[in-house]
Structure formats: structure tokens, C-alpha cells
Structure 1
């Protein structure tokens, strides 16, 4: 006898200010990820544009706006450009570890520095250690934290300079949220490097895609995602190649906004 399938129940948030496009409002549709089939449900929803935060999968459902577009990198076909190859060589000495989804004081301190420098007025700016622990540790799917450290010295681990909360799905990896050191001039482009390293990791594992969340038309802070080609975007007709013009110069990357409170998600 097969187990009874329970179709998920979906809910819609009340409208709120859009964090990316001034003067607009946003709503999200969401459902709970729970039970023995949480991973399968998360995989299926991820292929139609949903993102995960803790035990919830969500996607924008704004009445008069379709600016948020799900995008993913085709990992096996990706070839870094000259600037990206330079970044990969510059940071090739970093020690990279795949850790269980369990938070540390060092991670939280790095997150606080990152938010203060990059998103001082954002929805995550007031996160405390419990909020951070909820964001990382409350997961019903296969999740890990990838840490990036300076080389070890005298038998001791090096300084933590980057981290990414990452989900592994059946067809790729989903970068839930990344944050990194912004005060060290000797480590430029860490955000870009973290994406590049995830693309390499997915390709070597035989996983076809790296999900980058939403590209938001009209939002300058989301344009960096178009630098990772070939890129696909999700439309009503499915996934298609997407070649939006990139920004004129390489930036330092950005974290993927997926804080712990649903009202702040994008």
C-alpha cells in the first residue's frame, strides 16, 4: 500500500513595501515544508521558482508586477571570463569546508559586519543570534554551511572570511544566503568568488544548476547575477536562456536575501 499523498496548502501574505523597487508593494505565496516528503516538495517547488527559508517555500505573487524572475546558472556549460578567472586564482588559497547547518559565534560576527557594511537598513539588520540560528538550523531538507577561511597557521584554523547557507536539490544547489568579509582590501570580490566556487562544486558533482534566487528587473543590486553565463530565467513557458546586459564592471557580489522572517523575504 502506498502512502497517502497530501497536496500542500498555500497561503498568501498581506501586501507590504517592496524592498527592491521604490513605491511598489509585494506579496508572497508560501507553503510549509514538513514531513517525510519535504525534500521532494522543495525540489518540485524550486523548479517552478520557489525559494526556501527555514521550513517554508515561497515565491513573489505581486498583482501588478512581475519584476522578480527566478534565475539559475547552467553549471556544466559555465566558463569563467577573464575577471572571474583572476578572482579564482586570487582566492585559491582559501580553506573551504562543508559544515553541518549549525551556527557559530564566528559566523554570526561575520554576518553582523557584512550587514553593517552592505545592508545597514535592510530587513536583516536587526537579526540577533537566535534569528540567525533559526535561519540556518531550522531546515527540513539537505542543507549545509560552506565556510571560506584564510589558510591555517600554526595548526589553527584561519580567519573566517565568507560563508554560504546552501541547499542541495536533486537538480542542483540553491544558494540560500551568502555573506563575507568586507573590511579586508586583500580579499576583493569574495561574493563573486563564492558563487564561482558553488558553480564549480555543482559541475564536479554532476548537478546541472546553481539556483541564484531572483533577478529583479530595475533593481541595480540584483544585476550582478547576469555575470554568470549561461544563465536561465523562468517564465510562463518554462526555463529559457537569459542574457541580460551585465553591469559595466565586476563588483564584489552580494548575499542572497533570505532572512528568517517571511515578511522580509524576497
Structure 2
């Protein structure tokens, strides 16, 4: 009987392009395909090492002269809402949560377009049409849910595409009605995901990247129990200023060294970059 060996994932690097978070800097991403029978294991393993999912791709920033983008997650056992976060929960108490399979709807796309046109009209996703939106929601080889929020009898107000990892929830992409911006719906969805994770007995909620020096990402540092993945390990974020040096060129390891350090499922060594 012949047995086929699992194919180790190959890692690649994108061409430099302007950084969306820090002015005057260029970004590159290290990425690999997410496919096959081992997709969930690979997603779980690499999420623990600072990678994020976008459809069928796992990626992590690997810029030539900057390592400011730090993957962030909330340690659920250490989280307690601040006074302002309690007010956010109270303002949004009328909302009801509905978790569905990752299947795109017209109502979701209308809300998504309204959100982009109001808040990210110049961003990289500004030109996404309904087919690209559907692909973002539906093209996933792992366990994902589309979590919707709306008050009884009212239109969809907020939604989040969420991955279920073996150690937590990963908030892949969230969007909301900008007419209700004063209700802090983005923060509310994070707070609600902490409650979902707590109910499920999961230790973490993954938030994406926190970038010191970027006002756009500063809000993530306000969550108690926030950990960041820096220099190959997760550590509790205490003073955000401690990470200001991550923008220095000497903070970046060579790409080949970064790839060699990646731990794959079943402790397989990562192949070198192509």
C-alpha cells in the first residue's frame, strides 16, 4: 500500500506597497495558501504565530524596515470592561445577535457598502463589488460564522465574519451602519465576542493587528488583558510606548529566518521561502 505524504505549505512575499497605517512606509506580506484537509490545523497553528486569514490565504506583515504591525488578542480570563465599555454595552443592549453560516446576503452587502463609503472610501476595499464581497464571506475552508446584530424588527446594524479557532475566536472583518457611529458598534462587537468566547470556554479573541503610532489602530490598546505577538512570543501589552522601537529597521529579522522559525502543525519545519 502506498501512502502519500502531506505537502508542506510554501511561503511567498508580496511586492512592496504603501503602508495603510504609517505614512511614508512601505509594507510587504508573508503569505501561504490555506487549502486541503489540513487547512484548519494550519489556520490554528499560524494564527498563534501572528498570521491572519483573508479568504484562502494566511498572511503576516514582513516589512523590510519595520515590524510595527503586532497581532493582538484579548485574554478572556483577564478581561473586564472599563466604565466607557460598560456604557457601550448599555447603549447597544437592544441589539440581538444572530450567528449564521458564512453566506452573503443583499442586506449584508448594502451595509458593507454604506460602511466603506462612509469610513474607508479611499481604502483598498473601496471598489469591492457584490461578487468580491460574496467571495470574502463564503470562500473559507475552515469553520466560520457571519455574526449579525440588529434590534427587533429593524434592519441589520452590524456584522462580523468570525473564524472559530481551537483556542478562540478570530474577528476576520467587521462592519456596521455609520449612522450609528455614536453607539461605538465596532467596540460593541469586540465586547460581545469576548462574551461569546467566555460562554464557549475559549481563552482568546483575536482582533487583527495593533500598530503603535497609528491612530486608526489605537483603540485596541484600551482592552484589558490585551496580548501582542512580538519577537516570536505573546506578551501582555502594558505600556504601548514599549513597542515604539518596532518601527526601527534593526527590529526586522531576515525573511528566510522568519520562515525558518514558523512552527507548522505536527512540528513540521517550515520550508524555505521561494
What is the TM-score when the length of structure 2 is the normalising length?
0.84
Who is 2:257 aligned against? none
Mapped to 2, the partners of 1:76 and 1:107 lie a distance apart of 32
Deviation at 1:3, TM superposition (A): 6.2
- Equivalent position to 1:243, from 238, 246, 252: 238
> Do structure 1's residue 163 and structure 2's residue 164 form an aligned pair?
no
**CA offset at residue 121 of structure 1?**
0.7
Tell me how far apart the structure 1 counterparts of residues 39 and 239 of structure 2 sit (CA, whole Å).
Answer: 34
**8 Å CA contact retained: 1:229, 1:243:** no
Contact residue 226 and residue 244 of structure 1 kept, 8 A: no
Greater per-residue helix proportion: 2
Give the alignment partner of residue 184 of structure 2, picking from 181, 186, 189: 189
- Of 205, 214, 217, 1:210 maps to 205
Aligned to 1:229: 224
Instruction: State the Cα distance separating 1:243 from its structure 2 match.
Output: 2.4
Find the aligned partners of 2:189 and 2:45 in 1 and give their Cα distance: 25
Distance 1:194 1:39 in 2: 24
Q: Which residue does 1:32 correspond to in 2? A: 33
* CA radius of gyration, larger in: 2
Give aligned pairs, total: 240
Distance in 2, matches of 1:243 and 1:220, equals 18
Q: Which runs of 5+ in 2 are unaligned?
A: 242-274
Alignment-derived partner of residue 115 in structure 1? 116
User: CA RMSD for the aligned pairs?
Assistant: 1.6
Question: What displacement does 1:244 show?
Answer: 3.8
CA distance in 1, matches of 2:28, 2:114: 29
Q: Distance in 2 between matches of 1:129 and 1:100?
A: 18
Instruction: Describe the shift of the 1:170–1:94 C-alpha distance in structure 2 as closer, same or farther (beyond 3 A).
Output: same
Q: Distance between the aligned counterparts of 1:245 and 1:31, measured in 2? A: 30
* Unmatched tracts of structure 1, length 5 or more: 153-157, 247-266
By relative contact order (CA 8 Å, sep 6+), the higher-ranking structure is 2
